[in-house]
A = this chain, B = another copy of it.
Amino acid sequence: MTVITSDPLDRNRFPVDEWALVETEFAPDDQGMAETIFAVGNGYLGMRGNLDEGRGGAAYGTFINGFHETWPIRHAEEAFGFARVGQTIVNVPDAKVIRLYIDDEPFVVAEADILRYSRRVDFRDGVLVRELEWRTPSGKRVLIRSRRLVSFTDRHLAVVEYEVTMLDADASVLISSQILNRQDLGDEYHAGMRAAATFDPRKAESFADRVLQPALKRAHGTRYVLGYQTTNSGMTIAVGAEHDLETDNEWQQSSQIEDDLAKHVYRIQAKAGRRIRVVKTITYHTSRGVPPRELADRCDRTLDRALEMAPEEIFDTQRDWLDDFWERSDVELPGHPILQQAIRWNIFQLAQATARTDGQGVAAKGVTGSGYGGHYFWDTEIYVLPFLSYTAPNVARNALRFRQGMLDAARERATELNQRGALFPWRTINGLESSAYYAAGTAQYHIDADITHALMQYVAATGDEDFLARGAIDILVETARLWADLGFWRSNGDQKFHIDGVTGPDEYTTVVDDNLYTNVMARANLWSAVRMCEELMVKNPTAYARMVTRLGLEEHELRGWTAAADAMEIPFDAHRGIHPQDAQFLDKELWDLDSTPESKRPLLLHYHPLVIYRFQVLKQADVVLALFLQGAEFTPAEKRRNFEYYDALTTGDSTLSAVVQSIIAAEVGHHRLARSYFLSSLFVDLADLHHNTADGVHVASTGGIWSSLVSGFGGMRDHDGRITFNPRLPEDWEKLVFRMTIKGSRVRVTVEQESITFTIEEGEGVTVHVGHEKYEVARSAPVVVPLSDQGPRIETPPPTTSDLRGMLRADGSVVTASIPMISLDRTEIDVDVQA
């Protein structure tokens, strides 16, 4: 973990604004990161924050959720059942390019004499605004202003507005608006960046052959539409742009259209002081195979419809949508503007990653980059769906329906893996497993339980049981079947149900037996399947009967699931008082993390997997994640001991880690550490803490930020659908305010040092618990619950690896009370981050 000991952002460049990310200086060396954090998107369409002029940046990218190319995975050494179909998100034609020439001199921000510069994305506007003043080589000053919007209300729509004003001299102004197929022109990345690229398995594959086959070119007037079909996956896309010029200057226009380029050029005889404004209305339509011609027609309709509105109307609509979003989703931290800004930026990213995914999943990088190939992982279910289920249930349901749509492929995959039921792919776009490294891929069977967990959470949060009845129950049944078949009763007669040869969330320990997380989650999965089947049988016998027929469900199966779940092996080490991460974990050698220098992090880029796997060392929370998701299954003492043991071994090399560590640190009382983890998650992308923000936003971490606030400091748990609060507000936080929509009612939760207050903002009312007490919150009046304390507060930092090593050498046990405060990192974390 990178420990945040002071404000990690350069505030000269990024001044604090509670409602916006603002950049006031152009940093040519840091564009990859900036392009990501200034990306705009709506969950369907994403445009990286590339400079409008489309030159001299780092990674030019425009992505459409799920629009991918396939390729045969060629394994260096083949084996039966290895993933076969590679899937990679395509960098779709870039329609946002607007090149500018003044007196034939090109405007390239990185090389230009910039007198004034600002870039800003306002979280309430959802618009990226750039404003700058350029002194041309011949000394003329030009004001250039652009706005870029990807619409939340019309997912196919984007608008770019580009304004040029000669400030003190006339000039010949040429504005060349383009649609550019960078994917096949090899023009995605700045040469310097490509050269610097070294081995990193987290990046997307690049293609050797043409990806987008030109299928259609249309140009009429100021409108252009290009259509393509991907070579292998057969997906189709059309991209259109309509232009409008507003100026009092004289001008001419011309056009050009080719397979990989459409260009509309305005040549303007600009007089000083006369503003030139180009409005470019953009649309993308995609499909799995509808002919490009039909998609082009859809583009025309979208453009026609958009043109019926003035551009300002579109911008207003965007603001209205965001007003509603923030009403549902805002988390307030009064008095901490730096944190407030970062919190809102993270939540805004959640909107941009999920709002209009519609029939698709939520990719690891949303639509902001090609990292992880645009694939969907368990990130969606475990890190993003809690936020969605409690703030945007409709979006949550879509994400779950997307998984439901993958069931057939998951059934086939289970068969291929010699198992009954369904096995969801570890990483995929089209439903087929595309993880080429099974040890940290296919072996993560827990994805089945993760999906079930999210489904159950959604149903409990929304009360939408009808969703199960209409077919989502199939997910429960097929995953339960998988677990019942995968696990086994050991022949030594220990009467336990074991699950061998799987990988848990921690990818630094793979293919193990009885992974604690997996077993605990599988048990919950089995129990949920039985309970939901039984409830459906009673409440909706018709739906139940249809399901039984559809799935061939037999009664003995439910009994088998209960038996397996009840007897599930839950590894526990009585000596240390902790739950081993897996059956063999505690026998491994301890990795000496304290002596592993920064230059060797993350471990995965510096050590062979075999080396890493041989040690007790974690990439990310594993047992600790179980303590969060299945908290009711562990005692407070177990939680503390487990947390302290595993925390010392956790590298946090995955951004999925810190948010979870933060939540459990808060629960068990390691309040300083909880804050420290929270901070390093909060700034993962804004401060590029993992050095790969250029590849896209870490969407799971942004979801984790919401969970850290609501479940970590807010202390919210929803085990078995019961909403309980045990707040853990940091000492120097006066107040934390967040919203949750529970069964259709929106409640505002205000956590303060002495109390927690529930106020209904919408709907009838909700039932909540604080500690062991139950409260009915009605629309009529807020409920204020006094808090006697905020849980334990442990002042000694948890042990380090050296402590574990030392202590284990002595007597094999971990006695945290005696741990000396030797870690500078850990004692430094309390430095405040204040504006």
Contact = CB atoms under 8 A, between A and B. Distances in A.
Contacts of A77: 201, 435-437, 441
A201 B79 contact: yes
Contacts of A437: 76-77, 79
B493 A608 contact: no
B438 A511 contact: no
A75 B78 contact: no
Contacts of A590: 491
A490 interface: yes
A81 to B, nearest CB: 3
Contact of A492 (B442, B498, B812): B812
Contacts of A78: 199, 201
A76 B434 CA distance: 10
A440 B438 CA distance: 14
A138 interface: no
Contacts of A613: 501, 511
Given A77-B436, A436-B77, A82 B500 contact: no
Interface in A789-823: 805, 808-809, 812
Interface in A474-519: 488, 490-493, 498, 500-501, 511, 513
Nearest to A435: B77
Interface stretch (A22-30, A149-157, A599-607, A647-655): A599-607
A684 to B, nearest CB: 23
A10 to B, nearest CB: 32
Contacts of A80: 199, 604-609
Interface stretch (A322-330, A581-589, A762-770): A581-589
Contacts of A82: 76, 608
A625 interface: no
A611 interface: yes
Nearest to A79: B609
A416 to B, nearest CB: 7
A108 interface: no
A12 interface: no
A474 to B, nearest CB: 24
Given A491-B812, A493-B812, A589-B488, A610 B498 contact: no
A809 B492 CA distance: 7
A97 to B, nearest CB: 32
Contact of A417 (B588, B589, B611): B611
A438 B614 CA distance: 14
A511 B78 CA distance: 18
A443 interface: yes
A496 to B, nearest CB: 10
Contact of A610 (B438, B492, B606, B614): B438
Contacts of A610: 81, 417, 438, 442-443, 501, 511
B81 A608 contact: yes
A272 interface: no
A116 interface: no
A86 interface: yes
A417 B608 contact: yes
A333 to B, nearest CB: 40
A439 interface: yes
Contact of A608 (B438, B500, B605, B614): B438
A406 interface: no
B491 A805 contact: yes
Contacts of A511: 511, 610, 613
A57 B158 CA distance: 63
Interface string A422-450: 00000000000001111101110000000
A795 B70 CA distance: 59
A608 B418 contact: yes
A73 interface: yes
A74 interface: yes
6 contacts: A76-B436, A80-B605, A491-B812, A492-B812, A500-B614, A583-B584
Copies in the assembly, this chain? 2
Contact of A808 (B74, B492, B589, B805): B492
A438 B498 CA distance: 27
Interface string A724-741: 000000000000000000
Interface string A83-105: 10010000000000000000000
Given A76-B76, A77-B201, A500-B588, 8 more contacts: A74-B76, A77-B441, A78-B201, A80-B609, A438-B608, A491-B590, A492-B586, A513-B587
Contacts of A441: 77
Given A438-B609, A442-B610, A79 B604 contact: yes
Given A492-B808, A589-B488, A611-B418, A584 B513 contact: yes
Nearest to A510: B511
A493 B808 CA distance: 8
Contacts of A438: 608-610
A791 to B, nearest CB: 32
Q: Which of A76, A435, A805, A808 has the most CB of B within 10 A?
A: A76
A281 B75 CA distance: 42
Q: Which of A416, A588, A606, A808 has the most CB of B within 10 A?
A: A588
A81 B609 CA distance: 8
* 8 residue pairs, one from A and one from B, having the closest CB atoms: A81-B608, A76-B436, A501-B614, A77-B437, A77-B436, A491-B808, A488-B589, A418-B611
Nearest to A488: B589
Contacts of A199: 78, 80
A492 B437 CA distance: 33
Interface string A574-595: 0000000001101111100000
Contacts of A614: 500-501
A122 B491 CA distance: 54
A500 B589 contact: yes
A426 to B, nearest CB: 11
Contacts of A418: 607-608, 611
Interface in A404-421: 416-418
Contact of A73 (B76, B488, B501): B76
A77 B511 CA distance: 17
Interface in A621-638: none
A760 to B, nearest CB: 49
Contacts of A436: 75-77
